[in-house]
Amino acid sequence: MVQNQPGGAPPDAVADLRIRSVQAFPISFAMPQDRIVRHGIGAAVKRDTVLVKVQTECGVVGWGEAHHGRGPTSIADLINNTLAHFLACRSAAAPVDAWGAVYARHLASHGQGAGTMIALSGIDMALWDARGRYWNTPCHVLMGGERRPVRAYAGGVSLGFQPAETLVEEVAALVAANWRAVKLRFGDGVGRDVPRLQAVRRAFPDLTIMVDANCAYGLADLRRAADALRDCGAEWLEEPFPAHDHRSYAEAKPLMGGVPLAAGENHYGRFEFHRLLEDGSVGIFQPDLSKAGGPSEVLRIAHMAGAWKIPVCPHIATGGLNHAATVHLLSAIDNGGWFEGDASPGNIFRDELCRIEPDADGMVFAPMGAGWGVEVDEALIRAHPVIAGPGFV
């Protein structure tokens, strides 16, 4: 590791951090039958992610995480056989320069397709990590922030469809583990969704409750559920509709009785978030650092949203690299909202990379150390070869 100080880049920093290679590794693990969670997009039968390794000329290595995009081998192939070529002669000293190269040579002419934005996200995250390691500095400092408490809620692939009484038991265990907020799932039919929400609210009058419909609702469903969401004090309703259904979001906002709509995990890049600003229907932005274009682009999105006083509460991906990077970014923006803590049962890619849990006050902190503060043992990659087939059925 090069022990340079941040703030004044030495003349050789660009050369030192010249990108030597970019490699992507798709990995998976199967969920045991007794730990499968079902929500609005199906039952999660396996977990996938794509780890991205950037090696630089001086020997510093940076790691990032790209979302699996429901096709982890395709995302990895896009990185290894296309995007990596655009990064020749670029440097991790300026991740925005590398980002711009991919934009100019691919995105501008072929559109901001989800696959390319997801792949670029993992690369960009790895470049930030390398930069932080070179200067022996945490990424939140490089982003202009400080290590500070961040509010957290229990989310991830958890709290799925189940009888109300067992859902209350699952929430109780999370509350006992210092979670002061949780995200419940809608999309199982209003007649089953609402009673679950009401049961949790009765059991925990002071708990902050978010609700995620996973794009499984229509306007008719929302009209039937809106009063309960308001009466139960839902913090937000997340993605009732697909990302492209702008008209439904616009029609839904007046129905919500003050409960804001949240979206963004399936929006790619600042240009799609600009449309959300223009529409004015979504009150909580949720870009994913492993999907929306990486930390560089999510910083742009956050600053843009800040001008409209819109909080940014990022969606999280599968693994601990994404989780760590998310807390770092939330520590560096002035409109940072909630961190979505991963409460998924048995998430190996969280537990073996970086498990972030709340303190007694329900807060989380960015990991200590250079870059993202996460050490990647490549034995993890060898131990979890990619599994073919869909992750949700």
pLDDT of residue 10: 55
What is the pLDDT of the chain when averaged over all its residues?
95
Q: What pLDDT was estimated at residue 312?
A: 98
Domain residue limits, the chain? 13-138, 140-372
pLDDT tens column, 364-386: 999 999 999 999 999 999 999 99
| Under 8 Å between Cβ of 372 and 139 | yes
Over 80: is that where the pLDDT of 11 sits?
no
Q: What are phi and psi of 265, to 5 degrees?
A: -65, -20
Each residue of 221-259: pLDDT tens digit? 999 999 999 999 999 999 999 999 999 999 999 999 999
Confidence at residue 42, expressed as pLDDT on a 0 to 100 scale: 87
d(CA 328, CA 314): 12
Fold topology of 13-138: Enolase-like; domain 1 (3.30.390)
> Measured between alpha carbons, how far is 135 from 9 in angstroms, rounded to an integer?
9
pLDDT band at residue 112, thresholds of 50, 70 and 90? confident
**2 pLDDT above the threshold of 60:** no
Rounded to 10°, the helix 294-306/320-330 angle is: 30
Average pLDDT of the residues in 39-56:
94
Residue with tokens 């520590």: 331
Per-residue pLDDT tens for 334-362?
999 999 999 999 999 999 999 999 999 99
Gap between the Cα atoms of 110 and 271, Å rounded: 15
Q: How confident is the model at residue 8 (pLDDT cuts 50, 70, 90)?
A: low
Question: Which residue's structure tokens are 């002071």?
Answer: 206
Q: Is the pLDDT of residue 95 over 90?
A: no
CATH number of 140-372: 3.20.20.120
Q: Given this model, what pLDDT does residue 318 score?
A: 96
Which residue, 158, 154, 161, 171, is CA-closest to 344? 158
Q: Please tell me the pTM assigned to this model.
A: 0.95
Which position has the higher pLDDT, 34 or 81? 81
In sequence order, what are the residues at sequence separation of 6 or more whose Cβ sits closer than 8 angstroms to the Cβ of residue 100? Answer: none
Kindly list the distances between the CA atom of residue 160 and the CA atoms of 37, 142, 164, 311, 377, in Å, as whole numbers in the listed order: 5, 37, 11, 26, 31
* 9 or 139, which is more confident: 139
Distance, in Å, from the CA atom of 231 to the CA atom of 64, rounded to the nearest integer, reads 41
Q: How confident is the model at residue 23 (pLDDT cuts 50, 70, 90)?
A: very high
| Residues 211 and 234: beta-carbon distance below 8 Å | yes
pLDDT category, 89, cuts 50, 70, 90? Answer: confident
Higher pLDDT, 390 or 200: 200
Asked if domains 13-138 and 140-372 share a fold, the reply is no
User: Residue holding tokens 């490089």?
Assistant: 142
3-class SS letters over the chain: CCCCCCCCCCCCHHHHCEEEEEEEEEEEEECCHHHCCEECCEEECEEEEEEEEEEECCCCEEEEEECCCCCHHHHHHHHHHHHHHHCCCCECCCHHHHHHHHHHHHHHHHCCCHHHHHHHHHHHHHHHHHHHHHCCCEHHHHCCCCCCCEEEEEECCCCCCCCHHHHHHHHHHHHHCCCCEEEEECCCCHHHHHHHHHHHHHHCCCCEEEEECCCCCCHHHHHHHHHHHHHCCCCCEECCCCCCCHHHHHHHHHHCCCCCEEECCCCCHHHHHHHHHHHCCCCEECCECCCCCHHHHHHHHHHHHHCCCCCECCECCCCHHHHHHHHHHHCCCCCECCEEEECCCCCHHHHCCCCCCCCCCCEECCCCCCECCCCCCCHHHHHCECCCCCCEC
Query: 268-289, pLDDT tens digit by residue?
Result: 999 999 999 999 999 999 999 9
- Per-residue confidence (pLDDT) for residue 9, from 0 to 100: 52
Percent of the chain exceeding pLDDT 70 equals: 97
* Res 40: pLDDT: 86
Written as one letter, the residue type at 264 is G
Please compute the mean of the pLDDT values over residues 134-163 and round it to a whole number: 97
pLDDT level of residue 301 (50, 70, 90 thresholds): very high
Share of the chain above pLDDT 90, in %: 90
